[in-house]
Structure 1
């Protein structure tokens, strides 16, 4: 006599506990964290450490056994008038570039957000600087500023603004002439960011402001700008950091001649650190990089503080 198998009831699956979910999330994060440590934290930490050593790789100063020297490199570079002048100049240029870039970027973004003939053509022209390498931009502006063949000097001379043509980035208004190519390069990216932020502003808010009698300036002041302030707070420190870290543009613009660059007070920190590397002094170069990193971190903290304060007011 055959027996009929009795079906067994399947055990209900246990819902994952909160601790299990947390362990699973941590397990997935471990590879990302390790990759970030290898590609980011270690190189930065290694660079900061070198700034506190007498690291040498030959050159005119020879090779020495690496040892900890404390703040000697920092005292040395801040005792060099060329570095202090270059750092001051770079801070001025970065501030001018950030303010000018985002003032013009707002105007361009507001324009490109409107409907008008050939808008796509204009948008393409606005974005063209993104396709040009910084070293090419530096070479072009170096040619434009040339006292013998440059068109800028020729124009200023014909207008009577300049009596004797000179290399303009070494003049008393050096920050102005150096900031022009930097603004030209930074403007497209800023315009794209702000255009995307402006297009995310709800049309209902703009229509309500219009019904309340707000004109174009009023809509920008009370609707568009507050709605895009978050994007602006995130982009501004990034732009400042990009200027502090810029190298190719300034190196090409200055011509790469240490003597002329130093005597003109044009040794911005990135170029100053490069010349230390070429002389076989990576310890001093790393100290310069640490100073740049500290300035960038301060800019980020100030931007974050302003952003948090505005959020509390709101």
Structure 2
């Protein structure tokens, strides 16, 4: 074999394992689910073809549309707080302060912790009756009665706080990488022109971070819209569906948490709901890409 042919063979040898895994674990499940969107299939027996009935049911499913609303609420809360907080921490820890490497590691630590483990720990912290947080707040005299952090009034706020805690460190490091690519000459020139710290931040730091900010926004949006692991462990979508998000609803249709008549495995309907959910996420992504292109024109 020629050296050129051998090079191509070596390339395909490395590509084939990933390609096989993608086909088996990615493409095949999608095609499998796509087939059952048009069937009434509870996971056993012979699938019954019902055409577009599953999609008609989705359009009239109040529980699903409630999960869509909860997803956008969850994503908005996470995005609005996570990005500014990550940027502020990045600016602070990009300075020549003592122990900054240790602080960066501490803030990044939640990123490498399993979502399930993290949720179990926070379940202990936010427990309504003997949780650590309520105990400290009562000892300090801030509250007189335990707060139901995972109750109807505060459950969504609680899961958003936990999601922010787990995400800030990751995006902080990305912002730090962006800050380190900004030339010090720009800040020196601004100082000569009489610019103060706030003006340097708004007119140099923020515009120069434009590309990295777009990438982080894309990551936060997609992760927030798809996230459900910590909610599943903490509340299972409760109480009363207050924290049930789209992908958790889809998960419950495929893997019901109980075997009651009201909560049985529905693979056919779950496939249809998953397809509609993917469309919703895709539309949001396309809208962001459109806005991102307009933002590029300003730089």
Q: Which range, TM-score by smaller chain?
A: 0.7 to 0.9
SS in 2 for 1:266: coil
- 1:96 paired with 2:73, answer no
Distance 1:243 1:311, change over 3 A: closer
Conserved 8 A contact 2:36-2:271: yes
CA distance in 2, matches of 1:76, 1:242: 27
Conserved 8 A contact 1:90-1:268: yes
The equivalent of 1:269 in structure 2 is: 246
Q: Mind listing any 5+ residue stretches in structure 2 that lack a counterpart?
A: 1-7, 256-263
Q: Mind listing any 5+ residue stretches in structure 1 that lack a counterpart?
A: 1-23
The equivalent of 1:14 in structure 2 is: none
- 1:197 paired with 2:181, answer no
Conserved 8 A contact 1:73-1:283: yes
CA distance in 1, matches of 2:205, 2:248: 39
The equivalent of 1:214 in structure 2 is: 195
Conserved 8 A contact 2:127-2:150: no
Distance 1:136 1:78, change over 3 A: farther
> Aligned ranges for residues 132-147 of structure 1 at < 5 Å?
132-147=113-128
CA distance in 2, matches of 1:86, 1:295: 12
Max Rg structure: 1
| Cα root mean square deviation, aligned | 2.8
The equivalent of 1:3 in structure 2 is: none
Query: Which TM-score applies when normalising by structure 1?
Result: 0.77
CA distance in 2, matches of 1:109, 1:262: 36
Identify which range, 78-87 or 240-249, moves more after superposition.
78-87
Distance 1:102 1:127, change over 3 A: same
- Residue-by-residue CA offset, 1:45-69 (whole Å, 9 max, x unaligned): 54344334323313xxxx3325252
CA distance in 2, matches of 1:105, 1:248: 22
> Aligned ranges for residues 56-75 of structure 1 at < 5 Å?
56-58=42-44, 63-67=45-49, 69-70=51-52, 72-75=53-56
Q: Alpha-carbon deviation of 1:155?
A: 4.8
Query: Which TM-score applies when normalising by structure 2?
Result: 0.81
SS in 2 for 1:169: coil
Conserved 8 A contact 1:201-1:227: yes
CA distance in 2, matches of 1:75, 1:232: 39
- 1:109 paired with 2:90, answer yes
Distance 1:127 1:88, change over 3 A: same
- Residue-by-residue CA offset, 1:139-167 (whole Å, 9 max, x unaligned): 12222221111133345556787675353
CA distance in 1, matches of 2:142, 2:153: 14
The equivalent of 1:312 in structure 2 is: 297
Conserved 8 A contact 1:273-1:284: no
Q: Alpha-carbon deviation of 1:228?
A: 1.1
CA distance in 2, matches of 1:262, 1:206: 51
> Aligned ranges for residues 1-314 of structure 1 at < 5 Å?
35=19, 38=23, 40-58=26-44, 63-67=45-49, 69-70=51-52, 72-155=53-136, 165=146, 167-254=148-235, 256=236, 261=238, 263-278=240-255, 279-314=264-299
Q: Alpha-carbon deviation of 1:113?
A: 0.8
Conserved 8 A contact 1:50-1:282: yes
SS in 1 for 2:43: coil
Number of matched residues? Answer: 277
